[in-house]
Amino acid sequence: MRQLLWFLAPVWSTFALAGLTEAQVHPQRYFYDAVVSDSAIASQVGADILAKGGTAVDAAVAVGFALAVTHPAAGNIGGGGFMIVRRRSGETVALDFREIAPLSASKTMYIGPDGKLTRDSLVGYRAAGVPGTVAGMAEAHRRFGKLRWRDLVEPAVQLANRGFKMPRGLAESLRDSADVFRPFPVAYAQFCRSGRFYAAGENFTQPDLGRTLERIRDHGAKDFYEGETAGLIVKDMVAKGGQITAADLKGYRVVARAPLVGKYRGYDVITMPPPSSGGIALLQMLGMVEGDDLGTLGWNSSGTLHLMVESMKRAFADRAEHLGDTDFVSVPVTQLLAPDYISRLRKSITDRALPAKEVKPWGKESEQTTHYSIIDIDGNAVSTTYTLNGSFGAGAVVEGAGFLLNNEMDDFAAQPGTPNLFGLIQGEKNSIQPRKRPLSSMTPTILTKDGKLAMVLGSPGGPTIINTVFQTLINVVDHGMNIQRAVASPRFHHQWMPDAIRWEPYGLGADLRKAMEAKGHVFEERARTMGSCHAIWTTGQGDRQVGVDPRISTSGAAGR
């Protein structure tokens, strides 16, 4: 059978190429396996691993390291994230390699002498949580890898040492981010050549990062947490006033969690539990709209938009009040997902917009993160979202190690009640404690139907992640869009507070706006793009349809 498929593959790829002229509407299609990410170069690295007989998890590890080189705004070894794996057998796991607060962290560490929030949770060494990515990749490989670890890290080593042609999108974003790097001379030298900016098409090498990746290739994650790289991190932290110590690094642990599983119109939705808020919010919102026929109401109609926005508000109000790291605080997951509660939420939706301040939580969140989706020849699937938090994280590169530090500490409620980078108001449950994981919105998700893999998706975008996943899923399931159209279509977003709908260019016609305003909705003044959802839809081997989000110009898919 495989031989026959091999024989047909060239015919199929010609067909796929024909679709490229209309990439907005025709999904690229592959026969056996597919990888889609914010970096076409990294996607090719993953596809090469699959072609060598690697599993989807092998490819995910290789893509994770490659993105750290080719997509430095978010791809990382100095950050953290989540990976949902679903094996062909049906076994699932959610690997949590989120950053943790250093041992010396405290609830008020970002509050200045004047009682006001400082910018330290966002910029520089104190903003960094203990990174989890390298441990996460190692754990994924330990559990599900088939190829040798060193062969998965090697492509990233080559990309860092030999370099790659600077894509236009990356050249522009590095120039635009000069202010982020300028206070940090090592980072400014690496990414902006100290002011002699890279031009598109120039070869971009990162020798310090290359050496770090070589050590990780040769000595495994141990190098990062206890070896030479750990030494470089600690030395830099001491020199620059950071908080991460050798004990912090040595004590970092990946947690394997049971994914949340919900139902939506016959699909099983396998998604991320806390410390992400994404899975709970997604399942709540799907639950609130399932009783209505969104397909008949129509895509981008005021009826559909109203219902979805009202669901978003209610889910985000619960997020603010109840969610945090379940290893530290109790989160009423069962209650928040109870059918009775969700039906009560649905019943509270009327024809009018409910002002945000009247939304009562139960009992009373650009492209700075990155998501990639992979399906291998056997139907194993991986959905990974990982991040440095803000674009290029804390802006600082570990001296001699060539990688950027995250500013994930800002995802905590540094001052409960004061909005964070994403304007999110968050509660006590997400306050800072040593070793605690900050609440996330990352929502890597996998859909199955009748036990068979159907879809792999996720997105960056802070709080907009959850709503991007919500809309992409509904675009396919309710509106029958193909996966490419589903990821490309304009999006909108409401996060409870601020009480306004964010919208994307070309997404809001004058009639729709009027109809929504008549119901009491308020819109943000200017349109802004949101998210970068890379998804794969499959009906089984022979059909891997890829949704490449066109919002990021470096994105791309690869496969066979």
Give catalytic residues, as residue numbers: 369
Binding flag, residue 442, ligand DON (CB under 6 A) = yes
Q: How far is the CB of 390 from ligand DON (least distance, A)?
A: 7
Length of the chain: 560
DSSP codes joined into one string, 163-231 = -EE--HHHHHHHHHTHHHHTT-HHHHHHHHGGGSPPPTTSEE--HHHHHHHHHHHHHTHHHHHHSHHHH
Helix (H/G/I), strand (E/B), else coil: 370:
strand
Q: In this chain, which of 245, 440, 468, 489 binds ligand DON, going by CB under 6 A?
A: 440
φ/ψ (deg, to 5) at 85: -115, 130
Q: How far is the CB of 450 from ligand DON (least distance, A)?
A: 32
Distance between CA atoms of residues 225 and 245, nearest Å:
10
Is the CB of 380 or the CB of 529 nearer to ligand DON? 529
Is the CB of 310 or the CB of 408 nearer to ligand DON? 408
Is the CB of 245 or the CB of 495 nearer to ligand DON? 495
Radius of gyration of the chain (CA): 22
Binding flag, residue 229, ligand DON (CB under 6 A) = no
Is the CB of 243 or the CB of 441 nearer to ligand DON? 441
* Token pair 């903003």: residue: 127
Is the CB of 306 or the CB of 502 nearer to ligand DON? 502
Binding flag, residue 59, ligand DON (CB under 6 A) = no
Q: What letters, b where the CB count within 10 A reaches 16 and e where it falls short, cover 1-26?
A: eeeeeeeeeeebbeebeeeeeeeeeb
Beta strands in 288-392 (DSSP E): 369-375, 381-387
Q: How far is the CB of 458 from ligand DON (least distance, A)?
A: 10
Whether residue 48 contacts residue 155, with contact meaning beta carbons closer than 8 Å, is answered with yes
Is the CB of 125 or the CB of 149 nearer to ligand DON? 125
Residue partners of 158: CB distance under 8 A and separation at least 6: none
Beta strands in 265-321 (DSSP E): 267-271
Is the CB of 145 or the CB of 460 nearer to ligand DON? 460
Judged by CB under 6 A, the chain residues 108 through 127 that form the site for ligand DON are none
Q: What is the largest CA-CA distance in the chain?
A: 71
Is the CB of 439 or the CB of 477 nearer to ligand DON? 439
3-state percent helix, strand, coil for the chain, nearest multiple of 5: 40, 15, 45
Q: In this chain, which of 384, 441, 495, 554 binds ligand DON, going by CB under 6 A?
A: 441
Q: How far is the CB of 276 from ligand DON (least distance, A)?
A: 7
Dihedral of alpha carbons 269, 80, 466, 29, sign: negative
Binding flag, residue 420, ligand DON (CB under 6 A) = no
Q: How far is the CB of 368 from ligand DON (least distance, A)?
A: 4
How many of the chain's residues bind ligand DON (CB under 6 A)?
15
The span of 27-35, 290-298, 309-317, 436-444 binding ligand DON (CB under 6 A) equals 436-444
Q: How far is the CB of 469 from ligand DON (least distance, A)?
A: 12
Distance between CA atoms of residues 549 and 498, nearest Å:
27
x-or-dash string of contact with ligand DON, 353-392, rule CB under 6 A: -------------xxxx-----------------x-x---
Closest CA to 403 of 3, 68, 142, 97: 68
Binding flag, residue 136, ligand DON (CB under 6 A) = no
Helix (H/G/I), strand (E/B), else coil: 369:
strand
Q: What letters, b where the CB count within 10 A reaches 16 and e where it falls short, cover 452-487?
A: ebbbbbbbbbbbbbbbbbbbbbbbbbbbebbbbbbb
Say what the alpha-carbon torsion angle 138, 132, 321, 425 is, to the nearest 10 degrees.
-140
Judged by CB under 6 A, the chain residues 449 through 468 that form the site for ligand DON are 460-462, 465
Q: In this chain, which of 99, 139, 411, 478 binds ligand DON, going by CB under 6 A?
A: 411
Helix ranges, 323-367 (H): 333-336, 339-347
Judged by CB under 6 A, the chain residues 390 through 409 that form the site for ligand DON are 408
Q: How far is the CB of 437 from ligand DON (least distance, A)?
A: 10
- Residue 503 pairs with which residues in a beta bridge? 492
Q: What is the DSSP letter of 48?
A: H
Closest CA to 304 of 519, 19, 66: 519
Helix (H/G/I), strand (E/B), else coil: 343:
helix
Q: How far is the CB of 486 from ligand DON (least distance, A)?
A: 20
Q: How far is the CB of 168 from ligand DON (least distance, A)?
A: 20
Q: How far is the CB of 71 from ligand DON (least distance, A)?
A: 12
Contacts with ligand DON by CB under 6 A lie at 366-369, 387, 389, 408, 411, 440-442, 460-462, 465
